[in-house]
Structures are given as C-alpha cells and as structure tokens.
Chains A and B, each alone.
Chain A
Amino acid sequence: MTCLPARTDKKLGLVIDLDTCVGCQACVTACKEWNTGGHMAPLTDIDPYGGHADGVWFNRVHTYEHMTEMGGRTVNFPRSCLHCDQPACVTVCPTGASYKRASDGIVLVDEDKCIGCKLCSWACPYGAREFDTEVGVMKKCTLCIDRIYNDNLAEEDRVPACVAACPTSARHFGDLGDPGSAISQLVEERGGVALMPELGYKPTNKYLPPRARTGRAARVDAPALEPIRAEGGFLGWIDRMLSN
C-alpha cells in the first residue's frame, strides 16, 4: 500500500555525526555484509573483479571539502536511506512494493511486488535506492529490520549493523519521533540537521554538523608563553625550582 500512514507509532532512524566520522568505510562494508545475506539478499555485485564493478550497496561514504570563511574542513559523509516521513519513493510506487511501516516508520520494499520500474529511485532525492539488475528489483536500506527485532540475536546486538560496527561511535540509532529519546536529545544538543529540507520529504535521519561549523569546536584558551625573565635566566630558574 503506497499511501502513507497518517502517522507512525515510532520514527526509527539513524543519526550520523559528521564531526566524528573519519570515513573508514566500516559502516559501508558492515552493511553490505549483513544485508547481502539478510532480508533483501543478495546485494548483487556485477563484474566484481573487472573494470565495471557495480554492486548494490545500501550505505555509501562520500568525502567532501567544505570551504567557508572559517577555513576548510574535510568531511566524510555516509549516505543511506533517511526513512523520510514524507517519502515520495513510496507514493510513486505503482505496485505497493514500496511502503512505509505504520509501526516504526521504516521504509521498505516488498521485493515480491516490485516490477523494477525504478521510479522510486527517481523520486528519492538522496540516492538511497539501488537497483539490482540481476534480480530486477529495487533494493534499499531496511534499517536492519532483521536485526533490530531479531530474537535470534542477543538483545544487545539488536541494532543496525552500521551502528554496531562504527569504530568512532559516529552512528546512533533510536526513535526520533520521541523527543525524550537519547537520540532526539543528541540531535537537539548538537544542532542536528535534515538533508534537503526544502524538498519536504521530512527525513527521519539527521546529521550532526562538524562542531567547528556550529561554534562548538574543542578549544584551549591558553595564554601566550612568556620567556623566563627572572635573574639568571633559564638556568637560574632551574636552580631556584630545584632548591624549593
């Protein structure tokens, strides 16, 4: 059913800390590895050892340079499905394959219904959907729906693979619809932003901008060092210090 639910009980999503992401690709391959055997298996790789290697991935990391009057900063930028509140990728779907879950807000594709028209990928401004040409259907991030509720996994492991893997702790998971949740508080504290808000998709996932860009960079307000001017100069100072 591609009409959107009037509201969702939860708004599950991710928060990505651009101040901390070093671009190591851990979330990228952890996602690939989990999902290629998971709910949307496989994430097919075409020409994996050749000159036109092209696989299906749910999470990709870009690198940018952001130049402002404050100077330049290199920013590593993970990009995946934002599980929008107003996902046009769902409403454009002619078959009901794309849908947004009323319970948790996760945007999913029911592969059995997908005809592979690719219109949803056109409707997604964020490039979150990737077509599996081998299977002929569209695939996308499931927010690890086969992990977060999986009672075959230890309870502590029921988080998306990318969040579990991230070595710098730059990825967060939770209910962004609950203003009291830890993840919502984090967004609040750090001035988290939505991507392309002007398009009105209302992404659930948020990005925490580099601290330096929001005046929150770590700093040390140290007075300038003054040379020792006391009698006897440096060596005299040493002597006095030792005699104390």
Chain B
Amino acid sequence: MHPAFSVVFFTTATGAGYGLLALLGVLGGLGFIQPEFWLGLVSMAFALGLIVAGLLSSTGHLGRPERAWRAFSQWRSSWLSREGVASVATFIPAGLFGIGWVLFGKSGGWVAVAGLLAAVGAVTTVCATGMIYASLKPIAQWHSPYTLPAYLIFAGMTGSVLLNAVLQGFDAGSTAVLAGALLAALAGWAWKIATWRYNDRLESPTTANTATGLAGGTVRSIEWPHTEENYLLKEMGFRIARKHSAKLRRITQALAFAVPAILLAIVFALPWPFAAIASALAAISQLTGMLVERWLFFAEAKHTVTLYYGRE
C-alpha cells in the first residue's frame, strides 16, 4: 500500500493524541494528576493539537474534503464513519474536561465524568481507526489479530511517553507514569516484533490462482493492461525492497522503542531538568520512530490487486 504522508501522519498523530487524552482524562479526571493550569494547558494542547492536526492531515487524503461532513452518516456499517463520529464526539467530553481540569482546576465530579468519557471516546476512536485497517480482507498484513491491539498499544505507548515528557517538563514527574511509559514502550516493541514475525510467516490462501480462477500450477503475469502505472498500482501496488524494509525496521526499533526505553530507564536516575530533557527526547524519538513504523505499516502491506499484476 502506498504510504501517503497524510495518512501516516494522521494515524500516528491521532494515536498519540488520543492516547494522551485518554490518560489525561482518567488520571486528571480522577485526580491522580493534580489540576495545574500550565501543565494542564500544555498537556491538553498536546493531546488536542495532535488530534486536530492528524484529523486535518487526514482530509488531505480526500478527493473532495469539502464534503468530509458526509462521513459521519454511515456509522452503522463503516469503521471510517465510526472513527469520524467517535473522533468528533470525543471533543465534547474532552472540551468539558479541559475546561474543568485546566480552566477551573478541578478534578473529580463532573470533570471526572467528562475525563472518563473523553477517555472512552479516545479509546473508541483508536479502536475504530484500528478496525478500518483490521477489517480490510484484501490486505492480509492488516486483516490480522495484531492490528487492533497494535493501534491501542501504540496509542497508549505514545500517549504515556508524551504524558511523561510533559510531567517531567513541569518537574511533576510521576514514577508510576514513567514506569508505565517504559513498560508501554517495551510492550509496543514486543508487539511490533510479534507482528512482523506473524506477517513474515503469513501464507495467504489468496494467490494468483484464486485471483484468476485458474486452478493449479503457476499463473504468471506476462502483460499488464496498461504500460504506465495506473491508480491501482500507485495506490496499492507500492513495493519496498526487502533490504530497504529490513533497514527501516531496524530504524523503527531503535527510534520508536529502544531509544525511548533506554532514555526512560535513565530518567529514573536523573534529576530535573535532565529528566525532562531525556523524557522529551524519548517522546521525540518515539514519535519519529512511529512515523517510520506507520510508513512501514503501509509499505509492507500487500493488497490482493497486486496479484493481478504479478507484483507478489
């Protein structure tokens, strides 16, 4: 699949944004993180900023963005529509939570309710995003049991690493949050490796034989219906060399998981402002790494239409 930047950025940014929002909603709403104006403002700005930037970026993928509002109508069948509805709906509790927690400096009560609802919305939205991909049967690497958990784990991971960075930045670091972020990074790493292993061993029952209805033996494409690349090949025929892919996997592991994990581990032993700097670096490294991960998520996904073109 073609790794369009708008979509790569969208899923990475909203994943981190919703992850952060959910954590803030729960931890802030329930008072585990004390309401404090600047901390609240900055952390909510991060969460909502990433979400808004991601959603805006996603409209860059649309042919007719001015009609984007129509996407809220088909929530009964479409995960994309559900994602749209959930993402927008989440703004309501998120906004109320932000007002209560940041402006009014409150937690508990209706703020907690709003925070929890925002968290539920965030999780729902991430689930919907994950399901958009997980539901696509033509793409075996996505239509797998690993996809939905991956979206949730990565949202939680990037959200917690971000939250830790913000807390550390305000010298309000929490060992629990830090430990959570570190564990999440390790969990994400493990999940990613497991996913790759699964994908690398994937044997799809869908082959050029079933695609053409020509049973048995080998089916080789000898002529395409067109000389130059068409929409199908540009959108779904993206190919990445094994060597290139291996390199990017290493970069992903380093930036998204290893470097943040090491930095976070060090943070346990560091005083402010070094802890803050390390935490910020961990977040930056991880988000960069996750962009690479998400790019690979697309680039390594093979659509069945490529079977028709002999791009196996």
What residues of chain A have their CB less than 8 Å away from a CB belonging to chain B?
Answer: 1-4, 18, 28, 51-57, 60-69, 74-75, 77, 79, 88, 90-97, 113-119, 121-127, 130-133, 135-138, 193-201, 207, 209-210, 213
Per the 8 Å Cβ criterion, residues 286-312 of B in contact with A are 303-305, 308-309
| B136 interface residue per 8 A CB criterion | yes
**Can you list 24 residue pairs at the A/B interface with Cβ under 8 Å?**
A2-B74, A3-B74, A3-B77, A54-B231, A61-B225, A62-B221, A68-B217, A77-B308, A79-B225, A88-B137, A92-B132, A94-B73, A117-B71, A122-B1, A124-B305, A125-B303, A126-B305, A126-B308, A130-B230, A136-B64, A195-B210, A197-B210, A198-B210, A199-B206
Nearest-Cβ distance from residue B262 to partner chain A, whole angstroms: 37
Residue of A with least CB distance to B204: A198
Contacts between the two chains (Cβ within 8 Å), count: 211
- Residue of A122, A194, A200 with most chain B CB atoms under a 10 A cut-off: A122
Given contacts A66-B214, A75-B212, 10 further A-B contacts (CB under 8 A): A2-B74, A60-B226, A62-B224, A64-B221, A93-B77, A94-B84, A117-B71, A122-B236, A125-B305, A133-B231
CB distance from A28 to the nearest CB of B (A): 7
Judging by beta carbons under 8 Å apart, are A79 and B308 in contact? yes
Chain B contacts for A57, CB-based, 8 A: 225-226, 230
A127 CA to B138 CA, complexed, in Å: 10
Measured CB to CB, the closest approach of chain B to A23, in angstroms, equals 8
Interface code B66-95, partner A: CB below 8 Å = 1, 0 otherwise? 011011111011111100100000000000
Q: Report whether A213 and B1 are in contact in the complex, using a CB–CB cutoff of 8 Å.
A: no
How far apart sit A229 and B42, CA to CA, in the bound complex (Å)?
A: 106
B212 and A195 contacting across the interface, CB-CB below 8 Å: yes
Per the 8 Å Cβ criterion, residues 228-248 of B in contact with A are 228-232, 234-236
Contact check: which of B205, B213, B228 meets A54 at CB < 8 Å?
B228
- Given A65-B220, A66-B217, the answer on whether A113 and B63 have CB atoms closer than 8 Å is no
A93 and B73 alpha carbons, distance in the complex (Å):
10
Give the CA-CA distance A56 to B226 in the complex, in Å.
Answer: 11
Question: Contacting A118 at CB < 8 Å: which of B61, B65, B78, B227?
Answer: B61
Give chain A nearest CB distance to B147 CB in angstroms: 14
A15 to B190, CA, bound (A): 48
Return the chain A residue nearest B59 by Cβ.
Answer: A115
Q: How many of chain B's residues have a CB under 8 angstroms from any CB in A?
A: 60
Q: Which of B65, B72, B223, B229 lies at the interface centre, i.e. has the most chain A CB atoms within 10 A of its CB?
A: B223
Q: Assess whether B139 is interfacial by the CB under 8 Å rule.
A: yes
| B202 beta carbon closer than 8 Å to chain A | no
- A-B pairs with the 3 shortest C-beta distances? A116-B63, A136-B63, A68-B217
Given contacts A135-B63, A196-B211, contact A91 B220 (CB under 8 A): no
The complex places the Cα of A169 from the Cα of B293 at a distance, in Å, of 50
Out of B65, B138, B218, B224, which one reaches A125, CB within 8 Å? B138
B81 to chain A: which residues have CB within 8 Å? 94-95
Inter-subunit contact A94/B217 (CB<8 Å): no
Contact A113 B67 (CB under 8 A): yes
Q: A54-B230, A61-B225, A116-B63 are in contact. Are A94 and B70 (CB under 8 A)?
A: yes
